[in-house]
Structure 1
Amino acid sequence: MILRLLVPPVDRPGPDTPFDWVLADRAGAPLREGRGPLGEVPRGDAVELILPASRVLFARLKLPKVNTATIRELLPYAVEDRLLADPSQIHAVPGTTNARGETLVAVVDRGWFQGALALLARAGLSPSRAVCESALAAPGPQAWTAVLGAERCFLVEDDGYAVAFDRPAGREPPLALRIAVDEAAGRDARPAQLEVLAESAPPDAAPWSETLGLTVRVREGKGRLALPVSPRAIDLLSGEFARRSRALSGIRVPRLAVALALAIAALHAGLTAFDTFRLERERRALEAEREALFRSAFPEATTVVDPALQMARNLGTLQRARGEASTDDFLAQVTRVARDDPAPARKLTWAGGKLTVERAPKGAAK
């Protein structure tokens, strides 16, 4: 199931702030809807965050042809003059580019957005994407949509550009719509019709149509939170706010490179295993050869644990049996003589297993 949450437009939403929500199945069909604090909101397999139109600014900008990382760094400065805000407090994400080379950019206050995400995280909710609510009212080609809600009103143009406005009090359309139509005419992008989605007190289409010079259709606008998201919607969970798994998946590695890396890793593992097997086999062969040499020299041995050590011990025994001293006997005799007489020796003679010491005459210079 998919849980869709609409963030309230307040400055600092808290644990007790009510959220509008819709719980839908995987096909997008709504199952339940309601309003309440995050602690009372049902859980779904996926979470979609909807941002109020009054918190998202849209701009059309002609951007330089540079890589995505550079564009992400330049965008806050590109919209600085329109917001009169510190670029470090702006989170901007580019969208589609039109035929005139203008890129639609969505902008949100970084601190507010970060606070909303932190609030959801404390409630155990991790959204998979975050889009403006204007993406739920996307019009068709050469058509615009105006949403008249009880609390929020906004206009959505055919390229996804959206702007919030106050609900009109009289029969005339709001000033924001008239300005938008005039600006579109200057860009040669005047719409052919306007669809008005009214949650309550629908306006009279006739004066709107006469003032705007457009075909105006009015229909009920309830249940908008359950409408499908436009495929051209700008996901604000990008850049520094991107989920880790999605950030990694965004790194596109050619399949051939991946296959080559896997093949190299498999070959390396195979060669390492073969080399280990070869060295182990050689070690066993050398151990068997040492044991065979020891048994050929000392056939009476019943147990062979360390052929080299046992060979050295047996060799010493044979040398002593034949009257030949081993290196250990020489060292033992030298040590014993040094302990018995600490006087300096002039000459040491070792022959036939016997040590002869020639001392220096008494009184000789040391």
Structure 2
Amino acid sequence: MSLLRIRCPLLEESLSCQWIWTGDDGLPLTGEGQIADLPKNASSVQLIIPAAQVLLTRARLPDAARRQPGSVLAFAVEEEMLREPEANQVSWIGSAGGEDILAAVDKKRLTQCLDALQAAAIQVDEIYCETLLLPWTPGEWSFAWEGREGFVRTGEFEGGATDCGGDASPPLSLHLMLEDAERHGARPASIALYTIEPEGAMTFEESAGEIMKNPAAAPDIEAWQRVLGIPVYIAGTWDWRGAQQSSISLLQKHRRWPPFRGLLSRLRPAVWIGAAALVLHSLAVAADWALLANEERALHQQMETRFRALFPAAVAVVDPALQMRRKLIEARHAAGVPDTADFLPMIKTVGPALSELASGSLHAISYDSGRIALELAAEEGLANRIAARLRENDLSVDINPAPTDGGAGIVVLVVTTP
């Protein structure tokens, strides 16, 4: 499988880059130039962002926010980036010490780089931070030095670029990082120093199947140890071209998983079928609603016609059922027949349901047009049982709170006929 690894600084308008191509035969080919001149048709493409252009920082995030888009996570690093959150592309890359580790880059320049690569028919599969490609051992820091500047990896997901230093004086920022780690009880036991190959110093020669490298200059180790107060040793040379594969990608959510390639095009017929079914269902619901509304109007018209036939003197008919009920009550009263909504029939039904009440628990009773209000001194459970018995006798019951001056433990049951 062929691999194209590109190191592209995000500061240059020309978008020139360095690259290494490893073909199916395992032999590497390197180059430098414009993005448009990069090799094409690689099986996998990795973009390496220089350490100085990626901020690795800690933050405390809710669990649900860890997989949120970068526009949401950008607010967590707003103070450290010193620019508007919308200008940052932020990714959650892991956790350490109970805190979340975020990687932030300049969103505009990263987008320009990715757009230029896409215009050159190159689709990036992974984006890596140069800092996290440096070898690292727990309890130890790794430092890459190119003679004047460098970058340090302090943990599995942490590190950063340093300022300038010299042969006998390590970067001041490295010294300050050690002091901060000591205050937090995380001072490393030693620092493994890797010298960075100068540009053009890395040559590829096939010798016993190995890649030969030109040596790179190292600083004065003893002087660095005196200044830093910590053991420093030469761990070897380092070059991003030959760095080991990393699992910490800043573009994990954009991976091109082969099983899902072309999924949208394959699902397009199903989407159209589903949309058509939804439209048909909506039309059917609308037709059913219109049919029911028409039936309701027809029934209302039938009731109004019957009511006018029985009571031709009626002037306005708004609710035929209610008006018929009232006329029926008037007819019963005129014939001397009690109605179920009268006081005596209602109290006859309500009385047996109050058998559980203690003597004196019924404080007041009132009646008005088929409505009886009972003010009781009863606990909630007893009031609910009384209401259940009344509902069994086809009465409607509402349990209302007592008036403010009624005292504690007072409830009001409002009983009505259906």
1:9 Cα deviation from its structure 2 partner: 4.4
State the partner residue of 2:202.
Answer: none
Shift in alpha-carbon separation, 1:137–1:222, aligned structure 2, 3 A: closer
Structural RMSD (CA): 2.9
How big is the shift at 1:230? 2.9
Corresponding residue for 2:234?
218
Q: What's the secondary structure of 1:189's corresponding residue?
A: coil
CA distance in structure 1 between the aligned counterparts of 2:168 and 2:149, rounded to whole angstroms: 18
Q: Which runs of 5+ in 1 are unaligned?
A: 250-366
* Residues 129 and 237 in structure 1, CA contact (< 8 A), matched pair in contact too: yes
Task: Find the counterpart in structure 1 of residue 250 from structure 2.
Answer: 236
1:102-181 equivalences in 2 (<5 Å):
102-149=99-146, 153-181=150-178
Distance 1:26 1:176, change over 3 A: farther
**Counterpart contact for 2:71–2:85, Cα < 8 Å:** no
Which residue does the alignment assign to 1:74?
A: 72
Which residues of 2 match residues 4-43 of structure 1 at below 5 A?
A: 4-14=5-15, 17=16, 19-25=17-23, 31-43=28-40
In 2 relative to 1, CA 68–48 (structure 1 residues): closer, same or farther, beyond 3 Å? Answer: same
1:62 maps to amino acid: R
Give the aligned residue type for 1:10. L
- Listed as ranges, the matches of 1:196-211 within 5 Å are 196-199=193-196, 200-211=216-227
Most deviating of 45-54 and 149-158: 149-158
Identify the match of residue 190 of structure 1 among 170, 187, 192: 187
Cα separation, 1, equivalents of 2:19 and 2:147: 16
Deviations 1:217-243 (A, max 9, x none): 124424332211333x2x22256xx25
Moved more, 195-204 or 216-225: 216-225
Q: 1:62 aligns with which of 54, 60, 63?
A: 60
Q: Does 1:3 align with 2:4?
A: yes
CA 1:160/1:76 → structure 2, altered by over 3 Å: closer, same or farther? Answer: same
1:93 corresponds, among 56, 66, 91, to 91
Alpha carbons 1:135, 1:229 under 8 Å: kept: no
- How far apart are the structure 1 equivalents of 2:58 and 2:66? 17
Match of 2:82 among 73, 81, 84: 84
CA distance, structure 2, for counterparts of residue 248 and residue 73 of structure 1: 28
**Matched position secondary structure for 2:168:** coil
Deviations 1:193-228 (A, max 9, x none): 111111343101112122222221124424332211
Corresponding residue pairs, total: 242
User: Is the 1:76–1:92 Cα contact (8 Å) retained in structure 2?
Assistant: yes
Are the equivalent residues in 2 in contact too, given 1:136–1:225 (CA < 8 A)?
no
Q: 1:129 deviation in Å?
A: 0.5
Check whether the contact 1:146–1:154 (CA below 8 A) recurs between aligned residues. Answer: yes
CA change 1:113–1:166 in 2 (3 A) is same
Q: 1:68 to 1:40 in 2, by over 3 A?
A: same
**Partner residue of 1:257?**
none
* Contact 2:67/2:92, CA 8 A, preserved across alignment: no
Task: Give the secondary-structure state (helix, strand or coil) at the position aligned to 2:217.
Answer: coil
In the aligned structure 2, how far is the partner of 1:82 from the partner of 1:188? Answer: 23
Preserved CA contact (<8 Å) 2:71 2:89: no
For 1:235-274, list aligned pairs within 5 A.
235-238=249-252, 242=254, 245-246=256-257
**Offset, 1:186:** 1.6
Which range is displaced more, 62-71 or 38-47?
Answer: 62-71
Q: Deviations over 1:225-284 (max 9, x none)?
A: 2211333x2x22256xx25x45996xxxxxxxxxxxxxxxxxxxxxxxxxxxxxxxxxxx
Secondary structure at 2:179 match in 1: helix
Structure 2: state its 5+ residue gaps: 197-215, 261-418
The DSSP-based 3-state class of the residue aligned with 2:244 is: coil
Letter of the structure 2 residue corresponding to residue 201 of structure 1 = A
Q: Is the 8 A contact 2:147 2:167 kept in 1?
A: no
For 2:119, give the aligned amino acid: R
Query: How far is 1:150 from its partner?
Result: 6.0
Q: Deviations over 1:139-177 (max 9, x none)?
A: 111111111126862111123312112331340111011
Q: Secondary structure at the match of 2:83?
A: coil
Residue 350 of structure 1: aligned partner: none
Q: Which has the higher contact order (CA 8 A, sep 6+)?
A: 1
Is contact 2:10–2:110 with CA below 8 Å preserved after alignment? no
Letter in 2 for 1:34: G
Q: Secondary structure at the match of 2:103?
A: strand
